[in-house]
Structure 1
Amino acid sequence: MSPILVFSVIAGYFVVLLGISHFTSKKADNTTFFTANRQSPWYLVAYGMVGASLSGVTFISVPGEVGNSGWTYLQFVMGNMVGYAVIALVLIPLFYKLRLVSIYEYLRDRFGHKSYLAGASFFLISQTIGASFRLFLAAVVLQIAFFDAFGIPFSVTVLVTILLIWLYTFRGGIKTIVWTDTLQTTFLLLAVVISIFVIMSHMDLGAEKVFSVVAESDLSNIFDWNWKSDRNFYKTFLAGVFITIAMNGLDQNVMQKNLTCKNKGEAQKNIFWFSITFFFSTLLFLALGVLLYKYAIDQQIPIPERTDDLYPLLALNHFGIFAGVVFLIGIVAAAFSSADSALTALTTSFCVDILDLEKKKGDQKKIRLGVHIGFTILMFLVIVIFNAINDTSVVSAVFKVAGFTYGPLLGLFAFGLITSRPVKDRFVPIVCVLSPIISFILDMNSTEWFYGYQFGFEILLVNAAITYFGLWMLYNKRPGFL
């Protein structure tokens, strides 16, 4: 695919996003940026969230990871479905009842100001890392498809990518994102469907034959019952439940979109319909992964050492121009739908939770803009650093990091919702810092200490349990003296 064609596709797509931004950001203020005035149609939010949840990680890493672990990722997604039900039935009613802008305001009301800052800070750390990992994938594809041809360094690619996102989000914020996500979801799913049809055409496979190829492949194995494996069904399923609660229900990025719905009932419908669509979309990506490996083997194309590179390699170099263009739009859409909302959520949380923007004197809109720029720069630096040290599949890296950084959040909210026990607020940040440190030590030594047992995604549960226990030990007999 020629660099000029790549540039034309990206430029055209970006012009469309700017157009949507222009129409959705008219008369926008801070309330519009943070909550979209709570007027978003639930079905629009549900459809758009598919693209944001799949993101560049799923788009590239999940098909590639099939070569390493088959369909065991589906065990995790099965747990996700239970997690989404908990979000819809427990968290959505709570957040709507309290009329929150930032969901971490709940921690202030339940525990105190120090707990509130600790929760918000862990979100800021978690989301900055996670969003940067996802955007990293898009930058890699753009580097291969366009920037390498002109000898442009990867850091410049990252800078251009993140600046494009900043330009169409800095005015309308979450209102713009709700609408751009629908476009991006469409392109993301279209890219996968077209890729499957291209493989079917090249390998002369009919619909029934494709189904049997996928079903009979050794790569389509779903369940792992080995208790020592980090992909064991029980711990992967449970991790799927609680990571969903933590990374969606306790994540300002995702919940900010849900809280733009008109009322609790519409937000719940949004969650249920989104979760069903998400499950079947994941099946589509896993099927694509099997077909990608079969295609590469049949065509005698060397499998890249990094599994994340397989789909981009085939789509951009072997599937033809049309499929390559659609893939390019798909990966850009996937990355943008994840990173744009993350940038907005980070800005919202920092302004509301850390700065308490409503109480600030002066031009509050200008302050918000400065925060938005600051997080744009921070994400750029994290991506560049990650590129220098990355040596594993991004899909594994994202959730591994999440196990450590979202654990304290899960522990805080669980303790607050399950108990009415008051705590010594000033010591809560110490517990939140020690929990991931202890979890990391356990993870690094689990094989030696626990007879060969390896932690997987369930390290999140260990982390949350340590936080919960630590909060229990902080019982405050005199709640007025925190």
Structure 2
Amino acid sequence: MFVLIILISYFAILYTYSYFHGAKNSNETFFRGDRNSPWYLVAFGMIGASLSGITFVSVPGMVMWSDMTYLQTCLGYILGYFIVAFVLLPIFYKNNLTTIYSFLKIRLGDTSYKTGALFFLISKLIGAAARFYVVCLILDRFVFQEFNIPFFVTVPFLMTLIWLYTRNGGIRTLVHTDVIQTFFMLLSLGVILYGVMDVLDFSVMDAYREVVASEHSRIFEFSDLKSPQNFFKQLISGAFIVVVMTGLDQDMMQKNLTCKTLHEAKKDMCTYAFAFTPVNMLFMVLGILLICAFTSKGIAIPEKFDSLLIEAISNGTLGLGAKIFFVIGIVSAAFSSADSSLTALTTTYCVDIKEKSSDVRLRKNTHAMMAVLFSLAVLIFNYFNSTSLIDAIFILCGYTYGPLLGLFTFAIFGRRAVADRFTPYVAMLSPVACFVISQLTLKLFGYKFGYELLLLNGALTFAGLYVFSTQKKSVSVEG
């Protein structure tokens, strides 16, 4: 009961805060935040927006099989954020875009524009719903099962909460509520870390020495080029992951486009770039300390790496306080991710698909419709109740971001005019060809693609667009 009260109180804080920061109820406020957001609030809130509930659970357990090598990818993220700040943001601001996919219309044509927007809508709806589904399962286990509340009630209830505090202010609301959610997420991480150190009777210096001495403290992998943990592969892949899944994702870019000026947007992105890596490092430190706690208590370490933190909370190793803050942390990360996805989906449908950016009624109806579709997708995932299905969905969504990389790369750096009507076929065939190549490479050469699969996918899309293009130069729209 106490945990449920905490959850309801948390939502009450969000709703009250959103009421005073989103009362205008206009499309300019909902889509663009009146282009008046303080850059430092956007930067801080982006930490929570980038860390979904799955990240909160999974990253501590990653050290069980890959040590701390994920930090190599995080270093690549820093490079990626600088590319977004100094290459993409100037273009988006120069063209005064509400959605980033509008740039494809300016440079490539209407069909390419719709293709990019549709790829985002489909992949974001399915991917975000899959992530939210995993979090709903966790909340169902730790909160709602105690009251015999069925899952098909839990999901619409949580989505209704998100819909309520985003329905009027949209992105303007999220810039402010993300600050709250990031604060609670970081507070939860700190409390759980303290709980583990208390169980181990460690001081901060004891914890530091334990982490440094651990066999899981390895960060860099230079020796094996075939390994997915190879430094150069992770560094380059990390940079392109950010370029695609932040810079070419309306969900992640919409908040950044609410800053007053391009200069402030750059400051926001660069500040956030350096904040993201230390936060992920703390999650991995938590993982190493949890392994140490399990070992010292004689508790079997779970086989599945993403069960490490959940198991520590479930078996009471860390106590009630850690359980409460675990729920708060999960909710903070999940809500921050799902609410921005819901807002971005609404924006893209209204602005890009319907091209009615000033229609308030359409925006309200679309926002409600997306919340319903979100809930239905989660319930469908639960109906099949298959971990392999969820894994397949994440892989599929990863493939759908490749064509966006190819489209934007061609639009920004290409100097040829694309045959616009062929773009949908290129965008659909590229992921298929990418999958075939990855399977053949694994079978013939034993090389398994990791994150660099995104680069191959984008390259195939770029090549396809080049084939269906002419020498005619289009108008330059570079920033």
Q: TM-score, normalized by length of structure 2?
A: 0.94
Moved more, 42-51 or 288-297: 288-297
Moved more, 39-48 or 295-304: 295-304
Q: Which residue of 1 aligns with 2:290?
A: 292
Aligned partners of 2:42 and 2:268 also within 8 Å: yes
Moved more, 91-100 or 471-480: 471-480
What displacement does 1:231 show? Answer: 2.6
Shift in CA distance, 386/455, structure 1 to aligned 2, threshold 3 Å: farther
Distance 1:183 1:358 in 2: 29
Q: Which residue of 1 aligns with 2:387?
A: 391
What displacement does 1:399 show? Answer: 6.4
What displacement does 1:75 show? Answer: 1.5
Distance 2:433 2:154 in 1: 37
Identify which of 413, 416, 435 aligns with 1:418: 413
SS in 2 for 1:181: helix
Q: Which residue of 1 aligns with 2:8?
A: 11
2:178 maps to 1:181: yes
Distance 1:75 1:295 in 2: 26
What displacement does 1:308 show? Answer: 2.3
Aligned partners of 1:306 and 1:393 also within 8 Å: no
Q: Which residue of 1 aligns with 2:325?
A: 326
What displacement does 1:398 show? Answer: 7.8
Aligned partners of 1:137 and 1:335 also within 8 Å: no
What displacement does 1:199 show? Answer: 1.1
Shift in CA distance, 196/397, structure 1 to aligned 2, threshold 3 Å: farther
The amino acid across from 2:454 in the alignment is: L
Identify which of 48, 72, 92 aligns with 2:45: 48
What displacement does 1:402 show? Answer: 4.3
Show CA shifts across 1:165-214 (max 9, x none): 11111111001100000000011111111111111111111211111111
What displacement does 1:392 show? Answer: 6.3
Q: Which residue of 1 aligns with 2:477?
A: none
Shift in CA distance, 444/66, structure 1 to aligned 2, threshold 3 Å: same
Distance 1:135 1:251 in 2: 18
Distance 1:407 1:230 in 2: 19
What displacement does 1:472 show? Answer: 0.7
Distance 1:444 1:149 in 2: 45
Aligned partners of 1:133 and 1:383 also within 8 Å: yes
Distance 1:130 1:113 in 2: 25
2:80 maps to 1:94: no
What displacement does 1:55 show? Answer: 2.1
Q: Which residue of 1 aligns with 2:69?
A: 72
The amino acid across from 2:387 in the alignment is: D
Distance 2:268 2:473 in 1: 38
SS in 2 for 1:223: coil
2:470 maps to 1:476: yes
Gaps of 5+ in 1: none
Q: Which residue of 1 aligns with 2:376?
A: 381
The amino acid across from 2:411 in the alignment is: G
Show CA shifts across 1:418-470 (max 9, x none): 12211100001110000111112223343213x11001111100100000100
Aligned partners of 2:54 and 2:135 also within 8 Å: no
Moved more, 300-309 or 332-341: 300-309
2:144 maps to 1:147: yes
Distance 1:462 1:210 in 2: 41
Gaps of 5+ in 2: 475-479
SS in 2 for 1:406: helix
Q: Which residue of 2 aligns with 1:57?
A: 54
Show CA shifts across 1:337-383 (max 9, x none): 11101100010011100000147xxxx22211121122212222332
What displacement does 1:405 show? Answer: 1.1
Shift in CA distance, 195/398, structure 1 to aligned 2, threshold 3 Å: farther
Distance 1:338 1:398 in 2: 17
Show CA shifts across 1:89-120 (max 9, x none): 11111111100001100000100000000111
Q: Which residue of 1 aligns with 2:270?
A: 272
Q: Which residue of 2 aligns with 1:258?
A: 256
Q: Which residue of 2 aligns with 1:341?
A: 340
Distance 2:54 2:368 in 1: 24
Q: Which residue of 1 aligns with 2:437?
A: 442
The amino acid across from 1:165 in the alignment is: I
SS in 1 for 2:301: coil
Identify which of 305, 309, 312 aligns with 2:310: 312
SS in 2 for 1:356: coil
Aligned partners of 1:64 and 1:308 also within 8 Å: yes
Shift in CA distance, 71/428, structure 1 to aligned 2, threshold 3 Å: same
Distance 1:227 1:403 in 2: 22
